[in-house]
Structure 1
């Protein structure tokens, strides 16, 4: 589920929603920061950040409810945009394939908005925040529900990976500075709560399988017994994937000290 070995072309073709979301992250990040660095030579960067950030006071006092939606796409620091974009690229594709494009973008935005609503209701009037973390944790919430209640949609190896990553994510939420703790937690809860209706008719997915079409069949080709044939390799694969994820987190942490 979480190994990415596609070319850029095949990734863009197979996961158009993930590709668009990641592109929006990076474009807005560059736009905002280049505008600030150049002193406004690139216009509207400061305006986008000022009017798009989640602001408890602006939402509750001024009725600027678009701020429940726009923070999902905005990032300021390089470690912030890299962490959220990499997380989306790693953990989003399987769900986009399983749910379909419309359901995926719907649940992604819904969990992000719910996380921002919780933040607005439970923080002080001066609190401000940006980032896709609430929506990212919403994806983890869906996977967590699958691990607990829809074992037909996820194999044991990937279930272990999700549990480890989710626990690490929650722990780091409380240990890292300048984190929207409420956004992370309520994004996770929202994902788990919304999972049952969104997973109706969901299609199993395994990263080792190649999408193939059978004449007259629009479903993804999937052998439900395939995992049994690869049981010996599961432990090594899980360790290798976790190793790469840990390495990516270390690199992002180093970058965060440089910028």
Structure 2
């Protein structure tokens, strides 16, 4: 389920939504990065327009509950999140289908950011796809716990280890939106039974 050995062409054909999300994350990061040298102001403007800033959300800029999902300003951040998407998102796109996967990804990211808005101070700001990625892990957690027909024993072990390590790092790594991670995970776990209701296992990848 989580072994990726497809060619670029095969990957983009089989997982078009994941491919688009990866491309958006990388392109937006590169615009911001290159702007440091080109000084066009475009990268800075994109970040300032899209960052999840609670005070501005409070003042009515509700798009900031979605746009942070596609924003990264450090190489390590975009690398880790894109690598996680590359490994773990394709199987879920196959299981759910394109449109349900879009709803799952954006929905859990939205849940994460709404929780951050209501539970963090107005001066709190955040960006990154981590809430949505933890939302995908919430789907897998549901499979491990209650829909074992959708996941093999080996993949169950992989997910369990990754989740435990991810949660440990959430609490140990500085400048992490802990609530965003936790509510993204919870959001995925809540949405999973609704979106997986008609999905039959086992699946072969």
Tell me the TM-score range normalised by the shorter chain.
over 0.9
The runs of 5 or more residues in structure 1 that have no matched partner are: 208-259
State the partner residue of 1:144. Answer: 141
Q: Deviation of residue 189 (structure 1)?
A: 0.3
Contact 1:97–1:205 (CA under 8 A) maintained in structure 2:
no
C-alpha distance in 1 between matches for 2:4 and 2:204: 12
Q: Higher mean Cα deviation, 29-38 or 112-121?
A: 29-38
1:11-22 aligned at under 5 Å gives the runs 11-22=11-22
C-alpha distance in 2 between matches for 1:48 and 1:128: 15
State the partner residue of 1:227. Answer: none
C-alpha distance in 1 between matches for 2:86 and 2:177: 21
Residue 45 in structure 1 maps to residue 5 in structure 2: no
Q: Deviation of residue 45 (structure 1)?
A: 1.1
Q: Which has the larger radius of gyration?
A: 1
Aligned CA RMSD, in angstroms, stands at: 1.0
Q: Deviation of residue 38 (structure 1)?
A: 2.3
State the partner residue of 1:110. Answer: 107
1:79-94 aligned at under 5 Å gives the runs 79-94=76-91
Contact 1:103–1:198 (CA under 8 A) maintained in structure 2:
yes
Size of the aligned set, in residue pairs, is 204
CA deviation vs aligned residue, 1:114-135 (integer Å, no higher than 9, x gap): 0000001111111111000000
C-alpha distance in 2 between matches for 1:138 and 1:86: 15
C-alpha distance in 1 between matches for 2:126 and 2:5: 34
C-alpha distance in 2 between matches for 1:36 and 1:173: 29
State the partner residue of 1:178. Answer: 175
Q: Deviation of residue 51 (structure 1)?
A: 1.1
Aligned partner of residue 21 in structure 1, secondary structure: helix
Match of residue 92, structure 2, among 91, 95, 98: 95
Runs of 4+ in 1 over 6 A off after TM superposition: none
C-alpha distance in 1 between matches for 2:26 and 2:39: 20
CA deviation vs aligned residue, 1:223-259 (integer Å, no higher than 9, x gap): xxxxxxxxxxxxxxxxxxxxxxxxxxxxxxxxxxxxx
Contact 1:29–1:76 (CA under 8 A) maintained in structure 2:
yes
The runs of 5 or more residues in structure 2 that have no matched partner are: none
State the partner residue of 2:163. Answer: 166
Q: Deviation of residue 36 (structure 1)?
A: 2.8
C-alpha distance in 2 between matches for 1:22 and 1:205: 24
Contact 1:94–1:205 (CA under 8 A) maintained in structure 2:
no
Tell me the TM-score normalised to structure 2 length.
0.97
C-alpha distance in 2 between matches for 1:34 and 1:129: 21
